[in-house]
C-alpha cells in the first residue's frame, strides 16, 4: 500500500530551511530531492547568495554534476580547507546520476565543520531503505518536494506574484495555470516574463495573451465555461475552432482542462454533500477562488448535479482513451470532441 504523502509538511520544511539560511544558520549538508525541482533551485540560489561573498567564491565555491564526478571525489573536495572564508560551499547538481552514495555515509560520521555540501537529486525521491538515507538522520537537512496539486496552481501563482510586489487578476492566474501546467519552474519563468512585459502593477488577461501567447477567447477553459452555462452554440463554435487547428489546440490538452474543471466541480459537490453549507467555502476548499469564478461554478452546479458530473468525467476519460489509441477508429480529434459535447449535453 502506497504511503500517503504529506505535501504540507514538505512546504513547511522548505520554509524552515529558507528561514535558517536567511539567518545564516547553515547545516553541514543539504539533501534536496523530490519530483518538484523548483524548491531545490530556490534553496541552492539562497545558499549561493548567502554563504559566500563574491570575493570568496573563486576559491570556495564548487559546482559539480553527478554524471561528471563520483562521491569519493566529492568527499575529497569536502575535506579541503576554505581560503580566507569561514566556509566553502559545494553544490552537486544531478546527484541522482552518482554511481554510489556510500562514501557520504562515512563522511557524515565526521563531516567537515567548515564545508556546506548540497546534494540535489533532480526529479527523484530518495530510497528510504538505503544506508545513505539512514545516515542522514540528525546529520543533514533533507527536503523531499512534491508537485503542486493542479487545483492549487492559480492560488500559488497569485501568492508568488504578490511576493514580487505585483497582483494578478483571477482569470489571468487561471489562464496562466492552464497554459503553463503545474511545473513551478515553468510557471516562475512565465511570471517573470509577464512582470517584465506588464505596464503597471496588475497582471491582466490581456498581458497573458500578449506575453505568453495564449488566447482567452479560444482556450479550453472558455469551452468549459460555455459547457457550465449550457451554452450549446458557443461550446460547438469553440470546438469548431479547435478542430480547425489541432496543432494549436491539441485535443489531449482540451480534455485535460475539461477533466481539471469538472474534477474541481466534483470536489465542490463533495464538500456540499459532506455538510458544508457555504458554497463560497466549498469552492475555496476545491481551489476555486474569486467572485466571478465562484459564480461560474454556482451556475455549473445548478446545470450539472453530482450524477451528471460523474457522467461527464467518465465521458472525458473515454474520449481521452480514444484519442490515444485505436478505439477511436478513424475519427479526427475534432470529431471526437464534437461527439463528446453531444453526449455531454444530453446527459
- 343 Cα distance to chain centroid: 32
What pLDDT, on the 0 to 100 scale, is given for residue 321? 93
Q: How confident is the model at residue 150 (pLDDT cuts 50, 70, 90)?
A: confident
What pLDDT, on the 0 to 100 scale, is given for residue 228? 93
Per-residue model confidence as pLDDT tens digits over 13-35 = 999 999 999 999 999 999 999 98
Q: Which residues of 8-46 are buried (b: 16+ CB within 10 A; e: fewer)?
A: eebeebbeebeeebeeeebbbbbbbbbebbbbbbbbbee
Whether pLDDT at 217 is above 80: no
CA 276 to CA 271: how far, in whole Å?
Answer: 6
64 CB-near residues (< 8 Å, 6+ apart):
74, 77, 90, 91, 92, 93
Q: Which residues of 251-267 are buried (b: 16+ CB within 10 A; e: fewer)?
A: bebbbbbbbbbbbbbbb
The percentage of residues in the chain with a pLDDT greater than 90, rounded to a whole number, is 63
Per-residue model confidence as pLDDT tens digits over 228-249 = 999 999 899 899 989 988 888 8
CA 91 to CA 221: how far, in whole Å?
Answer: 42
The per-residue pLDDT of the chain, averaged, comes to: 90
CA 56 to CA 60: how far, in whole Å?
Answer: 6
* Count of Cβ atoms closer than 10 Å to residue 184 Cβ: 22
What pLDDT, on the 0 to 100 scale, is given for residue 175? 80
According to DSSP, residue 4 is labeled P
What pLDDT, on the 0 to 100 scale, is given for residue 249? 86
What pLDDT, on the 0 to 100 scale, is given for residue 2? 43
* Count of Cβ atoms closer than 10 Å to residue 115 Cβ: 22
Q: Using alpha carbons only, how large is the chain's radius of gyration in Å?
A: 24
Grid coordinates belonging to 95: 546527484
Q: How confident is the model at residue 5 (pLDDT cuts 50, 70, 90)?
A: low
The percentage of residues in the chain with a pLDDT greater than 70, rounded to a whole number, is 97
The H-or-E segment that residue 182 falls in is none
Could you tell me which residues are beta bridge partners of residue 88? 115
Domains and CATH numbers, the chain: 7-145 (3.40.50.300), 150-212 (1.10.8.60), 220-345 (1.20.272.10)
Q: Select the highest-mean-pLDDT range: 2-11, 116-125, 201-210.
A: 116-125
Per-residue model confidence as pLDDT tens digits over 87-137 = 999 999 999 999 999 999 999 999 999 999 999 998 888 999 999 999 998
Per-residue model confidence as pLDDT tens digits over 37-91 = 999 999 999 999 999 999 999 999 999 999 999 999 999 999 999 999 999 999 9
Whether pLDDT at 143 is above 50: yes
Amino acid at each position: 500500500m502506497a504511503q500517503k504523502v504529506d505535501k504540507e509538511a514538505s512546504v513547511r520544511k522548505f520554509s524552515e530551511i529558507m528561514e535558517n539560511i536567511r539567518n545564516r544558520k547553515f547545516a553541514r549538508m543539504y539533501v534536496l530531492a523530490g519530483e518538484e525541482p523548483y524548491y531545490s533551485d530556490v534553496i541552492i540560489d539562497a545558499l549561493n547568495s548567502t554563504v559566500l561573498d563574491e570575493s570568496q567564491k573563486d576559491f570556495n565555491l564548487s559546482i559539480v554534476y553527478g554524471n561528471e564526478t563520483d562521491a569519493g571525489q566529492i568527499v575529497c573536495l569536502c575535506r579541503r580547507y576554505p581560503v580566507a572564508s569561514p566556509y566553502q560551499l559545494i553544490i552537486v547538481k544531478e546527484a541522482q546520476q552518482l554511481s554510489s552514495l556510500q562514501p557520504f555515509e562515512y563522511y557524515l560520521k565526521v563531516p567537515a565543520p567548515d564545508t556546506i555540501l548540497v546534494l540535489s537529486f533532480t526529479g527523484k525521491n530518495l530510497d528510504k531503505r538505503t544506508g545513505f538515507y539512514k545516515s542522514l538522520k540528525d546529520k543533514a537537512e533533507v527536503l523531499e518536494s512534491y508537485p503542486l496539486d493542479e487545483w492549487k496552481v492559480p492560488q500559488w501563482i497569485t501568492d508568488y506574484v504578490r511576493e514580487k510586489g505585483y497582483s494578478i487578476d483571477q482569470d489571468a492566474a487561471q489562464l496562466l495555470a492552464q497554459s503553463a501546467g503545474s511545473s513551478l519552474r515553468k510557471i516562475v519563468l512565465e511570471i517573470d516574463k509577464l512582470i517584465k512585459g506588464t505596464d503597471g502593477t496588475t497582471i491582466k488577461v490581456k498581458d497573458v495573451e500578449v506575453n505568453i501567447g495564449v488566447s482567452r477567447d479560444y482556450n479550453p477553459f472558455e469551452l468549459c465555461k460555455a459547457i457550465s452555462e449550457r451554452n450549446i452554440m458557443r461550446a460547438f463554435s469553440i470546438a469548431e475552432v479547435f478542430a480547425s487547428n489541432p496543432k494549436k489546440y491539441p485535443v489531449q490538452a482540451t480534455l485535460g482542462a475539461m477533466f481539471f474543471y469538472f474534477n474541481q466541480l466534483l470536489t465542490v459537490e463533495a464538500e456540499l454533500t459532506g455538510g458544508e453549507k457555504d458554497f463560497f467555502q466549498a469552492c475555496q476548499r476545491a481551489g476555486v477562488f474569486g467572485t466571478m469564478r465562484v459564480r461560474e461554478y454556482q451556475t455549473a452546479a445548478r446545470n450539472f448535479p453530482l450524477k451528471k458530473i460523474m457522467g461527464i468525467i467518465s465521458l472525458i476519460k473515454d474520449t481521452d482513451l480514444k484519442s490515444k489509441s485505436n478505439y477511436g477508429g478513424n475519427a479526427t480529434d475534432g470529431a471526437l470532441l464534437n461527439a463528446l459535447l453531444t453526449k455531454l449535453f444530453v446527459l
